[in-house]
Structure 1
Amino acid sequence: MPRLALSNVEVVYDKVFLAIKGVSLEVEEGDIVALLGANGAGKSTTLKAISGLLGPERGAVTRGEIAFGDLDLLSLGPPKRVEAGLVHVLEGRRIFGHLTPEENLLAAFPSGRSSARFTELRERVYTYFPRLKERGRAKAGYLSGGEQQMLAIGRALMTEPRLIMLDEPSLGLSPLLVQEIFAIIREINEREGVSVLLVEQNANAALEIVRHAYLVENGQIVMDGSAEVLKQNPDVQEFYLGGGGKVDYHAVKHYRRRKRWLA
């Protein structure tokens, strides 16, 4: 059984706008999967449908099923989904800027657990992100963009997740920092056995660490396959990986026809 499975999911905003249309995907236990696509393609909406965060944006899942192991996620509120082992690291970090890194970690730690367990999980986070320990007395709002992203991921680990969803972790970071953070994501996946669903516009970086990827356009999955297969696809190379030389924009319409056929 897949750790996460979406089947023909549709999301509507304001009871009018159809944002994602019949999305189906799977993340196997211990796997690392990417959801790729341009800005506005429906990637973040897909993650919010899974984590239950559509409500504040006047969105709702109107069709389809979302299963997390043997759980029906659509019957659970966001807190219960976190308790089940699903955690969502939102785009833009969303750390508590007025708190220190350790206070941010404590804020994410489930209430009612022992202080010894908090210490153990905190030290595990510091093992992956030693820079957070070095900046322990600083307010999180004064951390660099890369350090804030590390803190956002570390805070997610405090919930002891079975699956982490990461929304644009490379956003606003230098190529070297992107490489560092993606290497740590892969290490967490391998060492902890935590499944990862990674949303990214930076297809080059994502395809270096994932095993499988889905490509989203206009709210639909138009292609999926192993990372190696997608990297070799000439359409993906031309429009997402920066290859293929100068883009012939007159061919874009034909390109989309080919993708619908491939899907």
Structure 2
Amino acid sequence: MPALILENVEVIYDKVFLAIKGVSLEVGEGEMVALLGSNGAGKSTTLKSVSGLLGPERGLVTRGEIRFGDRSILSLGAPERVAGGLVHVLEGRRIFGHLTPDENLVAAYRGRSIARFNELRDQVYAYFPRLKERIKSKAGYLSGGEQQMLAIGRALMTEPKLIMLDEPSLGLSPLLVQEIFGIIQEINAREGLSVLLVEQNAAATLDIVSRAYLIEQGQVVMSGAADVLKSNPDVQDFYLGGAEHTDYRNVKHYRRRKRWLA
């Protein structure tokens, strides 16, 4: 059974701007799926429509359906969606810089049992041993990679069934991206956790997911198995470093060509 289904979802900001236009996608239980696209394509808006975080930005789902597990979640607030097993790691990490890593984990824990908290915290430190080494440091003084690890670890404290990661590679070196993506794979394999990964870094992402969707100007223009997208000439030209062979006079026809090939 799919963990998450979006059917023809549209989002409008300020009752005027149509940000995503009929987006449909699904993530299976225990599956890793990517949502790829350039800056401003609608990736983050898609995630916020799922996590219930559109309101503070004056956004609204005006059409379509979002189902998590066996029920619609459009009527639920963000805290209720987290309680149901959905967690969203926002772009830019958004950790509490004035708190230690341990205090960040305490802030995210929703249960009442100290024993369960300790189990989850130990699990986070097992996946991210760097955080345990920096346990007494203020989170604001951690490196960018360590802050990203803390953001993911904090999300795991909510015991999610599906984790949505928005640009976890942003601002990180290739080696750190490789390390963090490897840990995400390990968590997915060991915990059976469903993952929806939003990225601009298509090359690294397509190596770890089973399927991917490509979004452009608010619409999904291509989807399929990761290896199929990697072999697509348009994806290679515009997302995998093959653009040096592109005739830029024809770039304006790119979206039409991609949709035709899809």
Relative to the length of structure 2, the TM-score reads 0.98
Separation in structure 2 between the aligned mates of residue 258 and residue 215 of structure 1, nearest angstrom: 13
Separation in structure 2 between the aligned mates of residue 138 and residue 255 of structure 1, nearest angstrom: 48
Residues 1:83 and 2:92 are matched in the alignment: no
Separation in structure 1 between the aligned mates of residue 15 and residue 261 of structure 2, nearest angstrom: 30
Query: Identity of counterpart residues, as a percentage?
Result: 79
Q: Equivalent residue for 1:202?
A: 201
CA contact (8 A) 1:45 1:54 kept: yes
Structure 1: 5+ residue runs without aligned partners? none
Shift of 1:244: 5.2
Shift of 1:251: 1.3
Separation in structure 1 between the aligned mates of residue 101 and residue 246 of structure 2, nearest angstrom: 44
User: Alignment RMSD, CA only?
Assistant: 0.8
CA contact (8 A) 2:221 2:255 kept: no
Task: Tell me the amino acid that sits aligned with residue 28 of structure 2.
Answer: E
CA contact (8 A) 1:214 1:225 kept: yes
Q: Report SS of the residue matched to 2:245.
A: coil
Q: Report SS of the residue matched to 1:161.
A: coil
Separation in structure 2 between the aligned mates of residue 182 and residue 114 of structure 1, nearest angstrom: 31
Matches within 5 A, 1:242-253: 242-243=241-242, 245-253=244-252
Q: Equivalent residue for 1:33?
A: 33
Separation in structure 1 between the aligned mates of residue 4 and residue 187 of structure 2, nearest angstrom: 18
Q: Equivalent residue for 1:237?
A: 236
Q: Equivalent residue for 2:51?
A: 51
Shift of 1:56: 0.3
Number of equivalenced pairs: 262
Task: Tell me the amino acid that sits aligned with residue 83 of structure 1.
Answer: A
Q: Deviations over 1:108-149 (max 9, x none)?
A: 0004x2000000000000000000000000000000000000
Distance 1:244 1:41, change over 3 A: closer
Matches within 5 A, 1:106-185: 106-111=106-111, 113-185=112-184
CA contact (8 A) 2:66 2:72 kept: yes
Residues 1:18 and 2:18 are matched in the alignment: yes
CA contact (8 A) 1:222 1:262 kept: no
Q: Equivalent residue for 1:94?
A: 94
Task: Tell me the amino acid that sits aligned with residue 6 of structure 2.
Answer: L
CA contact (8 A) 2:50 2:66 kept: yes
Q: Report SS of the residue matched to 1:20.
A: strand
Separation in structure 1 between the aligned mates of residue 36 and residue 123 of structure 2, nearest angstrom: 30
Q: Report SS of the residue matched to 1:209.
A: coil
